Chains A and B, each alone.
Chain A
Amino acid sequence: MAEPPLAQNGSKSGPGSVKSGKSKGGSARSKSKGKDGVPSPVTTAKDNPSADPRTMRRIIAEDPEWSLATVPLLTDLCIVHIVNNFEHNPLLDELKPKHRAKVLEKISTNIPLKVTAHLISDEGYWQRCCKARWDICDVSQYGGSWKRMYFERNLEHIIEHFVPERTNMDVVTDVLPLSGEYIKRLNIKQLLPPIKEETKKDDDTSETGSELGDGPEVDHFEFGPVFEKLPHLEEFGVTYGVKDCGMNFEWNLFQFTTRDCLLISKAVKSCKTLQKFHLCRSKVDDDKVRVLISHLLDHPSLTELDLSHNMIGDSGARAAGKLINRSRVVKMNLCDNKIGAPGALAIGHAVSKNTTLKCLDLRLNRLGDDGGQAICKALLKNSTLTDLNIGSNNMTEPTASILSQVLTTNTTIRTINLSCNRVGPDGGKQLQEGMEENSTVLEMDLRLTEAGQESEYCINQILKKNREDDRQLRLQNEKNKQSS
């Protein structure tokens, strides 16, 4: 705050009286600073004796506080100038490191990306940018890189507010070349449907949605061209739907058309660097999931697939089972779908032969006892799966009896979630018996299973012991590593 008045002060004093004026001004300012902190240039100009030509040349020699140091350095002035004109004439790499730091501290966060994107790599600047734009900034989710965070969120914001056939495509294409290098993850939380009627407003999406009514199929934003420009994209999540619609609900807002499906499938297939793909809450039904998975088969890098909160049925589950053995998928999330016993059979068959899959989430499906038994039988043969979630699947005692067998034989599984399945006290007993012979399972969720308090307590004790053992083991491993 102290600098700009100084510059103004300097520029205001006439060219003829630069020397004395400055010295006096400096002294005066220092005095005023000492008194009330922030000096007003106007008042200083008024108080300044140099303004009066008669007293201009008088030098107060006794002034003990006067010093040359108060005169701003030329470098400081230059830096101020550079900062002010950074948008038009960006100078950064030519500066010395300490000057560069100063410039980076001061330049505005509103400078267009076109200028800053490739020029500035300083995290401090991007931190300022992020903080200026968003309230909540968790940099740990972005690998500790503020710049990455800024660009990813920026692009997400643009795509989330992109209205097909209305918004100019340039908005996206302008940003892509600038940010392509820094983006590793895209998590699109909503996609707006195109607007049919001219009267609709652009900004209020919820209103447009409500007034559209049950119209014909509408296609969403196309990702193909975006993916081409993102060479480092590793994680991609998308939801074909509108966020926070509240009471303005319209079916139309949540439509995932066949064309959308085809386009996104092709885009994902073409993106060879992609590792994680999330397609949640998008009303993906059997046909679409089959189209999608047919494109994902043999993808070179895909390790995580999330299709939760969709409408995948048995045939879709069959396709998913096929995908498990024809890709490198390690984690598959199919929670909250409509998979029944036949689908579970298919998935179980795939898992029994698989050696890559580690996490499988089938929460909130309709597997039933048949499906649950199929999955558990698969676990008897499988030796790679570590996490399994089959909560809320309408299972009962028979599944628990097979699962107890699994617990005695399988030594790789770590986490089992059986919550919200009516196992009953007998099932709980069986599970307890299974657990007593097991030493690897670390977590087992038996909430709302009516398994009986006694068995639940016993199982929890065993789990605790297993966890302690595991911790000891890990500590030892770490020590060994350190010592080696």
Chain B
Amino acid sequence: MSTNGDEEETGPSTDSADPQERVEARRLRIARRVEARKRQEMGVDPDAKKDVKEELSKSRKQIEESRQRLTKLKTDGTELVTNVEVAGDSRESQRRLEEEELRRQRTERLEAEAKASAEKFEDVTKKWDSARRYQIPQDLHELLMQQRAACDQMIDEKNKLVNDLQQELKTKDDQYVKDLKKQAEDVDLMIERMEEQIKNLTKSYREELTQIDKAFEAERGELLEGNRKKWNQTMQTRTEKEVEYLKLREKRVEEYEQQLQHLRVQDAEEYNMVKIKLETDVQILEQQLQQMRATYQLNQEKLEYNFQVLKKRDEENTITKSQQKRKITRLQDVLNNLKVKLAKQEKQYKEENQGLTDDYKRITEQYQELQKKFKHFQSTDSRKFREIWMMNEAEAKDLVHRVLEADRIIHEQQLGLPFYQPDLWFMENEGPIVPRQMQGAKLSAMEVVQKVMSDQGVGPGGATIDEEEEIQEEGETMSMAGSQGSLASDKEQAEPQETTVMAKLTPGTIKQILELLCDESGFLVESKLNKLLAPLERDERSLMKLDAIFGALAIETEDDVHLLAQYFVKPKAAPLPHDAESAGPTPAPTERTDQPTSEAGEEGEEGSFIGSEEEELQFMMEEKESVKTTKSEVPELIHPNDIFKALRTFVNEHRQQQKKERRASSMKFVLGEERDDSQDEGYWRAMGGIIPEKKERLWSALLEGFDKYSRTLDERAKLITDTDALRQQNAELRMLLHQYVNSKVNGELEIPPTKVLQLEFSENQQQTA
């Protein structure tokens, strides 16, 4: 088998070199042609590429060829070498198959033999059993011989088998030896082939290398040749061109020289002319230069001076700049300090503010408390005051009564004159005197309205008549009460007020105004109210509406009504309220002088804050009224469309007033309870002056007389008592004497005392006598 492989391998390897190369060369040629055809098909474009490729391909081709040949050689070689192995393998597998077969046969044989021998052995053993039956020794001997023969046969067979197997073993041994030899041969062959292979490979490698070298060299030679040719060609063309250029150049040089000559002559002439001209120019210029120099010097000096000045200034500037800078920095510092301070102060003030607000809160609380207390104390004070007043009054009245009684007694009893009761008006009074002004209430706005509206039927004149009558009536009552004092005069105070109010605008206009208001400012009335009012009469309805409108506009008093009315009068008739107000103060003083006489004459200094404010308002109105009256008797009312505006202005201003009033009311609260004590003095003085001076003088004279009289009376009384006492003494002494005289002891005595006494008495009597 190995020989077979040898043939297979050696055939191509030895002979192959030429045919293979030939085949490959052909193949390559075909491939190249195919490629060329393809390129032609593709077009002209890849021509350049083709050239490059063909140039490259010569060496490449050689390399490729060599590589393919070498790989072929290598694969062939390895195949050649491995062929031995493969052959060995196949032999081995063959051997194994045969071995298996043989083993199978052997085992079969062994088994068959074992079976046969077992059968024979069985026979023999059976015969042993039958042997016992034999009685005759010959038979037995025969049998024994037979048995031996059978056993021998069996043993022979066995031995034969053993021999066979041993023979086989021997052949196997031989086989083993042969195999070993064969193996050695194989190994030798393999080594030989390997060496051959190596030799072949190195040879072919070397060959290929030289061929590649050659190819490269040839390529290089070609390239060199081509390049050299190109080089020579280009060199040739170059030399030709150079000669051409040289000739051209020479020609040109000659031309240029001629031109130069010509130019030179021309230029020399020109030069001379120019030279002369320039020299003259130079002279002129030198002169100018001198001049310029002079001016230059002058300028230089000037400029130097200026420069010095500027330098100085610059220095100054720098100094001031630095100063300013310093100042800026200083100020910056100050600013920073101040900022810090400011922050500190702000903080401080904030704290202070906090403290103050706290204080304020505390104080307002205290203040409220105080107010409460104050109210309390006020009430208590007033109560106390009233009580004390009452007590003192009672006491004073009592005293007055007593004094009057005493006076009456003095007059009637002592002097015997008729007694006239003095004026005792103050006795009527009870409790502290209350200022009468408070009692006079103002007319509410509604009342006025009602009044005005009710006057509907009656003309404006009628109203005035009524009022006049009222005034008259009141005047009568006043005169009636006039005897009683100034009490009734208080009522008059209200009267003029009312009259002034009504006088401001004629009730007709006011009525018109109110109607207007009622019609136009329905939006101030609630819709519900309108529904409710629907069934009512026209007058009542308008009344109710007005009530609602007034409520909405916060009109409460009559004054308010008139104030409102002012806004409804056309500005032509009445200038804008604003202007009027500003113009107000000038005429005010003149009227103010009147005012105290008519209005506050009685009140005196009672005019409180409220009063003054009201007065002012009144002044204003009066003033307006006066203006109105002067300009036009019947004031023209504004167009209904302007009512809204008028209302707005009114509300704006009225609200301010109201605010003021509210403030004033708060003030009133503080001072409201201030009692008017101006009448008290008169009152008390009247009480004290119940006894006039004349009467007092009379009384003092009387007292003197009475004193004297009483003194004499006292003396007399004293004397009476003295006499009485002496009388009693006498009586007592008489008694004692009587006793002594009458006593028994007296008798017993040589000289009775009675007799002494009598003697003495008699002596005394004689003396006296």
Asked if A and B bind, the verdict is: yes
A residues touching B (Cβ–Cβ < 8 Å)? 363-364, 366, 391-394, 419-420, 445, 447-448, 467
Q: Which of A364, A445, A467 contacts B93 (CB 8 A)?
A: A364
Does residue B5 face the partner (Cβ distance < 8 Å to A)?
A: yes
Closest to B97 in A: A394
Which residues of A have CB within 8 Å of B5? Answer: 447
Q: Which of A363, A366, A447 contacts B96 (CB 8 A)?
A: A366
Among listed B82-90, B293-301, B700-708, interface-contacting one: B82-90
Q: What CA separation (Å) do A116 and B92 show in the bound complex?
A: 49
If the complex has contacts A447-B5, A448-B1, are A419 and B93 also in contact, measured as CB distance less than 8 A? Answer: no
- Distance between B432 CB and nearest chain A CB, rounded to angstroms: 125
Taking a contact as CB atoms under 8 Å apart, the answer to whether B89 and A363 are in contact is: yes
CB-based closest 6 A-B pairs: A420-B90, A392-B93, A392-B89, A419-B86, A448-B90, A447-B86
Closest to B176 in A: A249
Q: Which of B79, B87, B92 contacts A364 (CB 8 A)?
A: B92
- Distance between A139 CB and nearest chain B CB, rounded to angstroms: 20
Chain B 64-117 residues near chain A, CB threshold 8 A: 71, 79, 83, 86-87, 89-90, 92-93, 96-97
Taking a contact as CB atoms under 8 Å apart, the answer to whether B89 and A394 are in contact is: no
Known: A394-B97, A448-B90. 10 other contacts (CB 8 A): A364-B92, A391-B89, A393-B93, A419-B89, A420-B90, A420-B93, A445-B86, A447-B83, A447-B86, A448-B86
Which of A363, A420, A445 has the most C-beta atoms of chain B within 10 angstroms of its own C-beta? A420
Which residues of A have CB within 8 Å of B93? Answer: 364, 392-394, 420
Q: What CA separation (Å) do A459 and B92 show in the bound complex?
A: 27
Chain B 1-45 residues near chain A, CB threshold 8 A: 1, 5
Interface residues on B, range: 10 to 19
Which residues of A have CB within 8 Å of B71? Answer: 467
Closest to A443 in B: B75
Q: What CA separation (Å) do A447 and B1 show in the bound complex?
A: 11
- Distance between B184 CB and nearest chain A CB, rounded to angstroms: 10
Q: Which of A391, A393, A467 contacts B86 (CB 8 A)?
A: A391
Q: What CA separation (Å) do A420 and B90 show in the bound complex?
A: 5
Which residues of B have CB within 8 Å of A448? Answer: 1, 86-87, 90
Chain A to chain B contacts (Cβ below 8 Å), 7 pairs: A364-B92, A366-B96, A391-B89, A392-B90, A392-B93, A393-B93, A447-B83
Q: What CA separation (Å) do A366 and B90 show in the bound complex?
A: 12
Q: What CA separation (Å) do A366 and B93 show in the bound complex?
A: 9
Taking a contact as CB atoms under 8 Å apart, the answer to whether A420 and B89 are in contact is: yes
Q: What CA separation (Å) do A467 and B71 show in the bound complex?
A: 11
Q: What CA separation (Å) do A447 and B90 show in the bound complex?
A: 10
Which residues of B have CB within 8 Å of A364? Answer: 89, 92-93
Which residues of A have CB within 8 Å of B79? Answer: 447
Binary flags per residue of B156-196, CB closer than 8 Å to A gives 1, else 0: 00000000000000000000000000000000000000000
Q: What CA separation (Å) do A391 and B83 show in the bound complex?
A: 13
Which residues of B have CB within 8 Å of A467? Answer: 71
Which residues of A have CB within 8 Å of B92? Answer: 364, 392
- Distance between A465 CB and nearest chain B CB, rounded to angstroms: 12
Closest to A365 in B: B93
Which residues of A have CB within 8 Å of B96? Answer: 366
Q: What CA separation (Å) do A366 and B71 show in the bound complex?
A: 34
Which residues of A have CB within 8 Å of B83? Answer: 447
Which of B79, B87, B93, B96 has the most C-beta atoms of chain A within 10 angstroms of its own C-beta? B93
Which residues of B have CB within 8 Å of A447? Answer: 5, 79, 83, 86
Which residues of B have CB within 8 Å of A366? Answer: 96
Which residues of B have CB within 8 Å of A445? Answer: 86
Which residues of A have CB within 8 Å of B87? Answer: 448
Taking a contact as CB atoms under 8 Å apart, the answer to whether B90 and A419 are in contact is: yes
Which residues of B have CB within 8 Å of A391? Answer: 86, 89
- Distance between B92 CB and nearest chain A CB, rounded to angstroms: 6
Closest to B4 in A: A448
Q: What CA separation (Å) do A420 and B1 show in the bound complex?
A: 11
Which residues of B have CB within 8 Å of A392? Answer: 89-90, 92-93
Which residues of A have CB within 8 Å of B89? Answer: 363-364, 391-392, 419-420
Q: What CA separation (Å) do A472 and B405 show in the bound complex?
A: 166
Which residues of B have CB within 8 Å of A420? Answer: 86, 89-90, 93
- Distance between A463 CB and nearest chain B CB, rounded to angstroms: 10
Which residues of B have CB within 8 Å of A419? Answer: 86, 89-90
- Distance between A158 CB and nearest chain B CB, rounded to angstroms: 28
Q: What CA separation (Å) do A391 and B71 show in the bound complex?
A: 24
Which residues of B have CB within 8 Å of A394? Answer: 93, 97
Which residues of A have CB within 8 Å of B1? Answer: 448
Q: What CA separation (Å) do A419 and B79 show in the bound complex?
A: 12
Closest to B79 in A: A447
Closest to A468 in B: B68
Binary flags per residue of B41-75, CB closer than 8 Å to A gives 1, else 0: 00000000000000000000000000000010000
Q: What CA separation (Å) do A3 and B80 show in the bound complex?
A: 55
- Distance between A308 CB and nearest chain B CB, rounded to angstroms: 12
Chain B 604-629 residues near chain A, CB threshold 8 A: none
Closest to B93 in A: A392
Which residues of B have CB within 8 Å of A393? Answer: 93
Q: What CA separation (Å) do A363 and B92 show in the bound complex?
A: 11
- Distance between A81 CB and nearest chain B CB, rounded to angstroms: 48
Closest to B85 in A: A419
Q: What CA separation (Å) do A61 and B223 show in the bound complex?
A: 66
Q: What CA separation (Å) do A364 and B90 show in the bound complex?
A: 8
Closest to A460 in B: B75
Q: What CA separation (Å) do A391 and B93 show in the bound complex?
A: 10
Closest to A246 in B: B180
- Distance between B23 CB and nearest chain A CB, rounded to angstroms: 12
- Distance between B83 CB and nearest chain A CB, rounded to angstroms: 7
Q: What CA separation (Å) do A364 and B87 show in the bound complex?
A: 12
Binary flags per residue of B570-597, CB closer than 8 Å to A gives 1, else 0: 0000000000000000000000000000
Chain B 94-148 residues near chain A, CB threshold 8 A: 96-97
- Distance between A461 CB and nearest chain B CB, rounded to angstroms: 12
- Distance between B609 CB and nearest chain A CB, rounded to angstroms: 108
Q: What CA separation (Å) do A366 and B97 show in the bound complex?
A: 9
Q: What CA separation (Å) do A419 and B8 show in the bound complex?
A: 15
Q: What CA separation (Å) do A391 and B86 show in the bound complex?
A: 9
Q: What CA separation (Å) do A447 and B81 show in the bound complex?
A: 13
- Distance between A105 CB and nearest chain B CB, rounded to angstroms: 34
- Distance between B356 CB and nearest chain A CB, rounded to angstroms: 86
Q: What CA separation (Å) do A273 and B97 show in the bound complex?
A: 41
Q: What CA separation (Å) do A484 and B587 show in the bound complex?
A: 113
- Distance between B63 CB and nearest chain A CB, rounded to angstroms: 13
Q: What CA separation (Å) do A304 and B598 show in the bound complex?
A: 143
- Distance between A301 CB and nearest chain B CB, rounded to angstroms: 31
Closest to A336 in B: B92
- Distance between A201 CB and nearest chain B CB, rounded to angstroms: 25
Q: What CA separation (Å) do A448 and B1 show in the bound complex?
A: 9
- Distance between A368 CB and nearest chain B CB, rounded to angstroms: 11
Which residues of A have CB within 8 Å of B90? Answer: 392, 419-420, 448
- Distance between B353 CB and nearest chain A CB, rounded to angstroms: 81
- Distance between B375 CB and nearest chain A CB, rounded to angstroms: 107
- Distance between A343 CB and nearest chain B CB, rounded to angstroms: 16
